[in-house]
C-alpha cells in the first residue's frame, strides 16, 4: 500500500492493470485518452499481460469487447461523449448478451456545438441500456469503483460503466491510497470465467429473437439488474473488509438532522460540501446526497434519508428536452411517489458543457430549496448560471 | 413454451442443430410432386434444392421431405425431363 498522487484517468488505468485484465479494446477520445494510453504503455512494457486491440471506432471497440467477454476473458474499455453515443446500439447487446465488460466513461458533453468539457449528458443518454452505472466523486473512488466493477460484472453477468467527470476528475491529481497488487488479486482472482464461445459447447450466440422469445429475453435483464443490488452491497462490504473503505449506493453529508437537502452526482459534490459546511456554521440545517449507483437506482437508500426532510433540490447536469423533468429529477420524484411522502422537489440544471458551478451557485440553490420548503411550492426548473 | 426463468441467459441456443425441430411446412404454397416414371435419377434437383429437402434413397431414387420443403420450385426448374410439377397445396 502506498500514497501517491494520480489523475482520475491514471487511477482507473492502475486499477485495470491490478485487475489483471485479459483484453482491452478501445479507441481514443478526449478526455478519456490517458486511460487507454497508459494501459497501452503497461502492455507494451510487459507490465500487463493483456491483448490490446486497436480498433477503428468505439462501435468496433465495444463489439470486440463483447466477443472477448463471451470467451470468459476479463475485458475493459473506456470512452467519452461521442464515443459512448457511437457505442449506443452495441451497449444494448453487451448487456443482453450478458457480458461482464467494465467500461470507464469519462463524462463529457455531447455535440452540437462541439464541446470537450464536462457534463453528464453522455451517460444520461444511455440510462436504459441495461448497464450498471456508478458515478464517482474522487480519484480514490474512481480507483475503488473500477476494482469493484470487475467483481460485480463477473458475478451478475451484466456490464458495468464507471462514470468520472471529464477534466475535473480525469485530469486532476489527487492523493489516493494505491493498494498492493496482491490484495487486489485476492479480491478479484484471475480465474477463468464462463466461456460461452468455446468450440466444446457449440452454443449459438447472437440469435434472432422472434416475438415468442424477445420479451422473455429482455425481462431477464430486468431480473438480473434487480438482483444485482444484493451483489453490489455484498461486494462493497467485502471491499471494506479488505481495503478499509466502503461506499454506499448513495453518499450523504450532514443528512442526519437536515431540513433541506440537495442531490447531486459526481465531483461537483465536493464543492457542495464546502457550501454545506459554511451554511451549517450560519445555523442552516442543510445536507447533501450524492448518488453513486445510478443503475440500479438506489430507491430504498434514498427514501431512508428523506425521513424528516422539508424540501429537496435536485441538480441535473444533463437535459431531457421536452420531458416532465431532467433525468435525475425524474428519478427522485418517482422515488418519492413510491414512498408516499409529499416533499416539494425543486429542479435545478447547471454545469452544462463545462460551465463552472461555483460556491455562490450552491448558496443560491440552498436558499431556493429553503424558500420552497417554507412555502411548500416548487418553482419550474431553475437554470443556474444561464445568461437571461 | 418456456418461461423467462427456464430460457438460457443471453438468448443462447444451447442445443446444436435444433432447427430440425422447426417445422416449416406451413410456409409452402406449392408442393413439388415427382413423377417417378419420368425421373432419370440424374440428381440435379438434389443438388439445386437450397434447403436440402430432396432426399436420395438407397436405390438412388429421390423424394421430397415435405417437413422442410418451402415450395420454392427450384427443383422443378432444374429438372430437364420435367418430372417435377408444382401443385397448389389447397388443391391436394
Chain A positions in Cβ-Cβ contact with residue B9 (cut-off 8 Å): 98, 157, 220, 224
pLDDT at A341: 81
pLDDT at B22: 78
pLDDT at A127: 96
Nearest CA in chain B to A198: B14
CA pair distance A92, A128, nearest whole angstrom: 8
> Scanning the structure block, which residue is given the C-alpha cell 427443383?
B75
CA pair distance B50, B70, nearest whole angstrom: 10
CA pair distance A215, A217, nearest whole angstrom: 5
Instruction: Please list the residue range(s) of chain A that carry CATH number 3.40.50.920.
Output: 250-383
Distance from CA of B2 to the nearest CA of A (A): 9
Q: Do residue A203 and residue B4 have CB atoms under 8 angstroms apart?
A: no
The CATH code of the domain at A2-243 is: 3.40.50.970
Report CA-CA distances (Å) from A241 to A142, A208, A343: 18, 44, 37
And the C-alpha cell for A94? 453487451
Nearest CA in chain B to A203: B14
Annotation: CATH topology of A250-383 = Rossmann fold (3.40.50)
Distance from CA of B1 to the nearest CA of A (A): 9
Q: Do residue B10 and residue A97 have CB atoms under 8 angstroms apart?
A: yes
Nearest CA in chain A to B15: A203
Residue B20 touches partner A, C-beta closer than 8 Å: no
Neighbours of B26 (CB within 10 A): 7
What is the tens place of the pLDDT at every residue in B33-45? 999 999 999 999 9
DSSP string computed for A25-67: EE---TTTHHHHHHHHHHHHTTSS--EEEE-SSHHHHHHHHHH
Chain B positions in Cβ-Cβ contact with residue A207 (cut-off 8 Å): 11-13
Chain B positions in Cβ-Cβ contact with residue A97 (cut-off 8 Å): 10-11
Distance from CA of A22 to the nearest CA of B (A): 22
> Which stretches does DSSP call E strand in chain B?
30-34, 54-56, 62-64, 84-88
ipTM of the complex: 0.87
CA pair distance A365, A387, nearest whole angstrom: 16
Instruction: Please list the residue range(s) of chain A that carry CATH number 3.40.50.970.
Output: 2-243
Residue B21 touches partner A, C-beta closer than 8 Å: no
Q: Do residue B4 and residue A217 have CB atoms under 8 angstroms apart?
A: yes
Distance from CA of B21 to the nearest CA of A (A): 16
Instruction: Give the count of Cβ contacts less than 8 A between chain A and B.
Output: 43
CA pair distance B28, A272, nearest whole angstrom: 69
What is chain A's pLDDT, residue by residue, as a tens digit (388 residues)?
899 999 999 999 999 999 999 999 999 999 999 999 999 999 999 999 999 999 999 999 999 999 999 999 999 999 999 999 999 999 999 999 999 999 999 999 999 999 999 999 999 999 999 999 999 999 999 999 999 999 999 999 999 999 999 999 999 999 999 999 999 999 999 877 888 998 888 899 999 999 999 999 999 999 999 999 999 999 999 999 999 999 999 999 999 999 999 999 999 999 999 999 999 999 999 999 999 999 999 999 999 998 889 999 999 999 999 999 999 999 999 999 988 788 999 999 999 999 999 999 999 999 999 999 999 999 999 999 999 9
pLDDT at B92: 65
What is the tens place of the pLDDT at every residue in A298-333? 999 999 998 889 999 999 999 999 999 999 999 999
Q: Do residue B11 and residue A207 have CB atoms under 8 angstroms apart?
A: yes
pLDDT at A66: 98
Say what the alpha-carbon torsion angle A222, A224, A230, A231 is, to the nearest 10 degrees. Answer: -140
Mutate which of A207, A216, A223 to disrupt the B interface (most B C-beta within 10 Å)? Answer: A216
Neighbours of B79 (CB within 10 A): 21
Mutate which of B1, B7, B11 to disrupt the A interface (most A C-beta within 10 Å)? Answer: B11
CA pair distance A234, B25, nearest whole angstrom: 52
Q: Which residues of A147-180 are buried (b: 16+ CB within 10 A; e: fewer)?
A: bbbbbbbbbbbbbbbbbbbbbbbbbbebebebbe
Chain A positions in Cβ-Cβ contact with residue B1 (cut-off 8 Å): 212
* Nearest one of A17, A141, A139, A143 to A74, comparing CA atoms: A17
- Give the residues across from A105 on adjacent strands: A79, A163
Three-state secondary-structure class, residue A239 = helix
Residue B10 touches partner A, C-beta closer than 8 Å: yes
CA pair distance A118, A106, nearest whole angstrom: 8
Nearest by CB to residue B10, choosing from A96, A202, A223, is: A96
Q: Do residue B10 and residue A98 have CB atoms under 8 angstroms apart?
A: yes
Distance from CA of A219 to the nearest CA of B (A): 7
Nearest by CB to residue B12, choosing from A205, A223, A224, is: A205
Residue B16 touches partner A, C-beta closer than 8 Å: yes
Contact between A106 and A132 (Cβ < 8 Å): no
The CATH code of the domain at B23-91 is: 3.30.70.20
Is B25's pLDDT higher than 90? Answer: no
pLDDT at A199: 86
Contact between A209 and A33 (Cβ < 8 Å): no
Amino acid at each position: 500500500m502506498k500514497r501517491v498522487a494520480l489523475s482520475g484517468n491514471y487511477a482507473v488505468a492502475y486499477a485495470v492493470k491490478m485487475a489483471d485484465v485479459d483484453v482491452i479494446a478501445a479507441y481514443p477520445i478526449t478526455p478519456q485518452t490517458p486511460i487507454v494510453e497508459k494501459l497501452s504503455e503497461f502492455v507494451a512494457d510487459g507490465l500487463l499481460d493483456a491483448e490490446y486491440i486497436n480498433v477503428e471506432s468505439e462501435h468496433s471497440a465495444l463489439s470486440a469487447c463483447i466477443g472477448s467477454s463471451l470467451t470468459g476473458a476479463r475485458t475493459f474499455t473506456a470512452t467519452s461523449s461521442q464515443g459512448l453515443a457511437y457505442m449506443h446500439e452495441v451497449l444494448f447487446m453487451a448487456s443482453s448478451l450478458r457480458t461482464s465488460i467494465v467500461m470507464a466513461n469519462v463524462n463529457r458533453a455531447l455535440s452540437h456545438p462541439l464541446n470537450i468539457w464536462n457534463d453528464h449528458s453522455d451517460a444520461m443518454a444511455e440510462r436504459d441500456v441495461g448497464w450498471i452505472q456508478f458515478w464517482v466523486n474522487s480519484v480514490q473512488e474512481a480507483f475503488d469503483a473500477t476494482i469493484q466493477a470487475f467483481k460485480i460484472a463477473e458475478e451478475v453477468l451484466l456490464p458495468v460503466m464507471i462514470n468520472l467527470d471529464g477534466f475535473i476528475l480525469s485530469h486532476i491529481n489527487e492523493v489516493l491510497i494505491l493498494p498492493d497488487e496482491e490484495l487486489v488479486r485476492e479480491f478479484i482472482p484471475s480465474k477463468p470465467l464462463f466461456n460461452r464461445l468455446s468450440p466444446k459447447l457449440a452454443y449459438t450466440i447472437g440469435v434472432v429473437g422472434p416475438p415468442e422469445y424477445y420479451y422473455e429475453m429482455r425481462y431477464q435483464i430486468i431480473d438480473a439488474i434487480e438482483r444485482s443490488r444484493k451483489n453490489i452491497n455484498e461486494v462493497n462490504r467485502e471491499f471494506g473488509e479488505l481495503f478499509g473503505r466502503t461506499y454506499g449506493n448513495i453518499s450523504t453529508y450532514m443528512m442526519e438532522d437536515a431540513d433541506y437537502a440537495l442531490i447531486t452526482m459526481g465531483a461537483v459534490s465536493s464543492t457542495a460540501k464546502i457550501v454545506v459546511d459554511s451554511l451549517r456554521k450560519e445555523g442552516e440545517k442543510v445536507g447533501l446526497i450524492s448518488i453513486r449507483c445510478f443503475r440500479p437506482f438506489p430507491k430504498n437508500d434514498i427514501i431512508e434519508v428523506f425521513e424528516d426532510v422539508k424540501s429537496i433540490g435536485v441538480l441535473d447536469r444533463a437535459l431531457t428536452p421536452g420531458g416532465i423533468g431532467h433525468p435525475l429529477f425524474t428519478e427522485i420524484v418517482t422515488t418519492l411517489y413510491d414512498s408516499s411522502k409529499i416533499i416539494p422537489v425543486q429542479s435545478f440544471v447547471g454545469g452544462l458543457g463545462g460551465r463552472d458551478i461555483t460556491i455562490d451557485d450552491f448558496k443560491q440553490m440552498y436558499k431556493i430549496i429553503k424558500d420552497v420548503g417554507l412555502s411548500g411550492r416548487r418553482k419550474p426548473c431553475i437554470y443556474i448560471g444561464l445568461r437571461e | 413454451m418456456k418461461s423467462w426463468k427456464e430460457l438460457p441467459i443471453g438468448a443462447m441456443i444451447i442445443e446444436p442443430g435444433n432447427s430440425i425441430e422447426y417445422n416449416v411446412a406451413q410456409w409452402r404454397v406449392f408442393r413439388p410432386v415427382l413423377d417417378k416414371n419420368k425421373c432419370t435419377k440424374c440428381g440435379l434437383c438434389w443438388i439445386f434444392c437450397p434447403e436440402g429437402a430432396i432426399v436420395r434413397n438407397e436405390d438412388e431414387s429421390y423424394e421430397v421431405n415435405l417437413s422442410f420443403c418451402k415450395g420454392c420450385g427450384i427443383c422443378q426448374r432444374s429438372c430437364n425431363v420435367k418430372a417435377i410439377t408444382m401443385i397448389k397445396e389447397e388443391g391436394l
